[in-house]
């Protein structure tokens, strides 16, 4: 009998998400490939066997009787590195001020940009580690992180370097996105700033990010400016991503399909034409229900329509000072209760399709032989408890790269 590191056995439900290794759509989203009374064998950070009643000599045996085992959550859209907090804005929101109202009155993102510019690398690092620790506690084992609270070359570099350090030092794997085009800093006109992003920032951030993102929105960056930045990013091997159609439909979804983006995110107001093009090109729609929830907008991305059209949907927290949650379980709850996704669809969106949105589906996002052992054990008998037993942390054990953390 082979000696292994960890054997998980007797899992009431082992949610493997075994299936086609590409973004999942329509009915595929519902297929979690569940093994009843399942076991997983882990060795050297990898899953080496998976099935029923496996027999191995293991360093550590975990009896998962009565529990649910699934891949670690993947959070494919966060702004985890920022300084300060904006809890004072809640009173403004309660008075009915919109995100744009708060932004225009000097609050919102510029408050955070100021704090982040002033913060030392060490400060940013320690504030971000607290958030990553919480993410891990709630079952997230990989996340994306965007720059975008620097809005000048020094501060954008500082954030990307902090993200690089976090990726090395923290258990969570962090994939970096350059979001210099998050807002227009007050010291520049928009065209000047687009030039700075393309000619000054992109050459200097080489090697510090995998993706380039733009906040394509009315009053921020137009479709043409976004296209320009994302095309330039491609020259530096940065795959396009987009904040698209969050507040109004500016044609962001359509742009994502024209520019070869890996994902377009938010999509509350996207046109049917844009969504159909995304479906055709299999561009992942990353839905962020925590954001309209925090903004008390009572309007959510049309997840059902997107799934019907064949858009591969994923879920993310959008963790930022405006929507501060590290908890993907909460996002799954919002996806089901407010966007009418089924529990199975939401879980696929928070695991396998989220891995696709980061280009990591070869190594994570499902529990299959040869994949990285990023696994969570939930203290509930089946996966339907995730959006049902709400407001608590259902995670019992987190295993990252074959180690219990
Ligand atoms: Zn965002």
From ligand 1's centre to the CA of 64, what distance in Å? 36
Ligand 1 centroid from CA 79, angstroms = 6
Distance from the CA of 266 to the center of ligand 1, in angstroms? 8
State the pLDDT at residue 99.
74
What does the alpha-carbon distance between residue 110 and residue 274 come to, in Å, rounded to a whole number? Answer: 30
Report the C-alpha gap between 127 and 7 in whole angstroms: 35
* Domains of the chain and CATH, by start: 3-71+366-404 (2.30.40.10), 74-357 (3.20.20.140)
Ligand 1 mean position, distance from CA 389 (Å): 27
Of 292, 296, 305, 294, nearest to 253 by C-alpha is 305
Within 8 A by CB and 6+ apart from 262, the residues are: 211, 239, 240, 241, 283, 284, 356, 357, 358, 359
Read off φ and ψ for residue 293, nearest 5 degrees: -65, -50
Task: Name the phi and psi angles at 180, rounded to 5.
Answer: -55, -30
How far does the centroid of ligand 1 lie from the alpha carbon of residue 91, in Å?
22
pTM here is: 0.97
Ligand 1 centroid to residue 318 C-alpha, Å: 5
Calculate how far, in angstroms, residue 276's C-alpha sits from the geometric centre of ligand 1: 23
Contacts of 351 (CB under 8 A, 6+ apart): 17, 70, 71, 72, 73, 74, 365, 366
pLDDT of res. 301: 97
Any idea which residue has 């000054």 for tokens? 200
What is the per-residue pLDDT for 298? 85
Per-residue pLDDT tens digits of the chain, which is 405 residues long: 679 999 999 999 999 999 999 999 999 999 999 999 999 999 999 999 999 999 999 999 999 999 999 999 999 999 999 999 999 889 888 998 887 788 787 788 999 999 999 999 999 999 999 999 999 999 999 999 999 999 999 999 999 999 999 999 999 999 999 999 999 999 999 999 999 999 999 999 999 999 999 999 998 999 999 999 999 999 999 999 999 999 899 999 999 999 999 999 999 999 999 999 999 999 999 999 999 999 888 899 999 999 999 999 999 999 999 999 999 999 999 999 999 999 999 999 999 999 999 999 999 999 999 999 999 999 999 999 999 999 999 999 999 999 999
How many angstroms does the Cα of residue 60 sit away from the middle of ligand 1?
40
Which pLDDT does position 135 carry in this prediction? 98
Task: Please list, in sequence order, all residues whose beta carbon lies within 8 angstroms of the beta carbon of residue 372, skipping any fewer than 6 positions away.
Answer: 45, 46, 47, 363, 364, 401, 402
């Amino acid at each position: 009998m082979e000696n292994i590191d960890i054997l998980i056995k007797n899992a009431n439900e082992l949610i493997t998400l075994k299936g086609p290794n590409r973004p999942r759509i329509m009915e595929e989203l519902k297929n979690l490939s569940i093994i009843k009374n399942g076991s997983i064998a882990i060795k050297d950070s990898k899953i080496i066997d998976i099935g029923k009643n496996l027999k191995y000599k293991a360093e550590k045996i975990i009896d998962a009787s009565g529990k649910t085992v699934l891949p670690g959550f993947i959070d494919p859209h966060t702004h985890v590195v920022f300084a300060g907090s904006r809890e004072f804005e809640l009173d403004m929101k309660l008075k009915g001020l919109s995100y744009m109202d708060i932004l225009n009155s000097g609050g919102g993102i510029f408050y955070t940009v100021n704090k982040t510019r002033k913060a030392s690398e060490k400060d940013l690092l320690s504030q971000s580690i607290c958030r990553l620790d919480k993410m891990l506690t709630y079952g997230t084992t990989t996340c994306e992180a965007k720059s975008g609270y620097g809005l000048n070359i020094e501060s954008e570099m500082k954030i990307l370097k902090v993200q690089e350090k976090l990726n090395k030092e923290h258990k969570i794997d962090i994939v970096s996105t350059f979001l210099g085009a998050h807002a227009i800093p007050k010291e520049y006109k928009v065209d000047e700033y687009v030039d700075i992003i393309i000619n000054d920032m992109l050459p200097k951030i080489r090697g510090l990010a995998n993706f380039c993102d733009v906040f394509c929105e009315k009053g921020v960056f137009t479709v043409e400016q976004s296209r320009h930045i994302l095309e330039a990013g491609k020259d530096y091997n940065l795959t396009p991503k987009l904040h698209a159609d969050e507040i109004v439909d500016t044609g962001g979804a359509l742009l994502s399909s024209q520019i070869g983006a890996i994902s377009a995110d938010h999509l509350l107001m996207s046109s049917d034409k844009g969504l159909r093009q995304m479906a055709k090109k299999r561009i992942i729609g990353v839905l962020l229900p925590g954001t309209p929830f925090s903004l008390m907008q009572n309007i959510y991305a049309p997840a059902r329509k997107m799934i019907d059209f064949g858009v591969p949907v994923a879920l993310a927290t959008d963790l930022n000072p405006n929507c501060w949650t590290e908890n993907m379980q909460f996002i799954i709850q919002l996806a089901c209760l407010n966007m009418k996704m089924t529990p199975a669809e939401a879980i696929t969106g928070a695991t396998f399709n989220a891995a696709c949105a980061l280009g990591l589906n070869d190594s994570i996002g499902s529990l299959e032989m040869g994949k990285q052992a990023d696994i969570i054990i939930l203290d509930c008998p089946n996966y339907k408890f995730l959006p049902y037993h709400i407001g608590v942390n259902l995670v019992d054990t987190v295993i990252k790269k074959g180690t219990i953390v």
